[in-house]
Amino acid sequence: MTFNSLSTRDSERAVHGVDYAFFVAMRCNGVLCLCKVLLTADRPVGIDVGLESFTTLSTSEKTAPPKFYRRNQKKLARAQRKLARTQKGSRNRAKARKRVAKIYQKIKNRRLDWLHKHAVGIVQRFDVVCIEDLNIKGLVKTKLAKSFSDTALGTFVQMLHDKAEWHGRQVVQVDRFYASSKTCHHCQTKTALTLSDRMWTCHICGTAHDRDVNAAINMLHEGLRLLAVGTTESQNAAGDGVNPVKRW
């Protein structure tokens, strides 16, 4: 067990923690403090994110993407067509514009609410979260830009960081060039894969893999390795960032 003193500013944060055993309130020089007894636990998890499964945990748990924009796309298209048919400067156009804006706002609110609950659920269950350092700007420039924008992966990762800090957890971001999907987590052998290969078998050890689960397990292993060497970024012997071309 570890003992730490908390100021009144952190008292609300402590109450929401799921691992705290009990609290002792003390007043020192007019300042109310809480002494928390924290049950230390080692519950790391690796997370692979994507479009088919929003998150895949190293525990083999998968969460499907909610697709709020896709589910409201027809409704939004109808509202936009009505807006296009109205006369510029008219009251009907102003009303139609508000209806379109309302649909967009509802999509955004539902997405943020879902992301918030999903991030909190992960942070409350695990002490260390290992996840890929995604190139969000690059992903939204591909032909799947609409799908990546709908999933809001960048917002989710940022929420993980914020909520991990609030709950006293840690997020480790693994280098985006780390070959998590095509590396067998059992024998560390790399196999050439295409994006359509969702299930594959290692040609060395014969282990059958689910692509996303295998990637999540590798994220976990690499994240814990980075924690063990005291850094959350892959570095070479000179202390510089690893050259992604030479690394893999």
The token pair at 234 is: 């892959």
162 is catalytic: no
Map residue 136 onto helix, strand or coil: helix
- Cα distances from 135 to residues 39, 131, 154, in angstroms, run 36, 12, 9
Cα 12 from chain centre: 24
Contacts of 243 (CB under 8 A, 6+ apart): 236
Residues 196, 82 share a domain: yes
Residues 165, 116 share a domain: yes
Catalytic position from the list 48, 150, 175, 222: 48
Say what the pLDDT of residue 55 is.
93
Residues 58, 26 share a domain: no
Per the structure, how many domains does the chain have?
Answer: 2
175 is catalytic: no
The token pair at 108 is: 């955004």
Taking only the tens place, the pLDDT of each residue in 103-121 is 999 999 999 999 999 999 9
**Residue 115 · residue 67 · CB < 8 Å:** no
Taking only the tens place, the pLDDT of each residue in 173-211 is 999 888 898 899 999 989 888 888 889 899 889 889 999
With both helix axes pointing from N to C terminus, report the angle between 73-85 and 91-125 in degrees, rounded to the nearest 10: 160
**Residue 202 · residue 242 · CB < 8 Å:** no
Angle at the Cα of 42 (from 38 to 44), degrees rounded to 5? 125
165 is catalytic: no
Say what the pLDDT of residue 153 is.
85
Catalytic position from the list 19, 42, 150, 212: 212
Range of the domain at 78: 41-247
Report if pTM > 0.75.
no
Say what the pLDDT of residue 20 is.
40
Using 70 as the pLDDT threshold, list the residues of the chain that sit under it: 1-41, 140, 231-248
Residues 142, 79 share a domain: yes
Catalytic position from the list 61, 132, 222, 233: 132
The token pair at 36 is: 């928390």
Say what the pLDDT of residue 6 is.
41
Residues 156, 33 share a domain: no
* Separation between Cα atoms, residue 156 and residue 137, nearest integer Å: 15
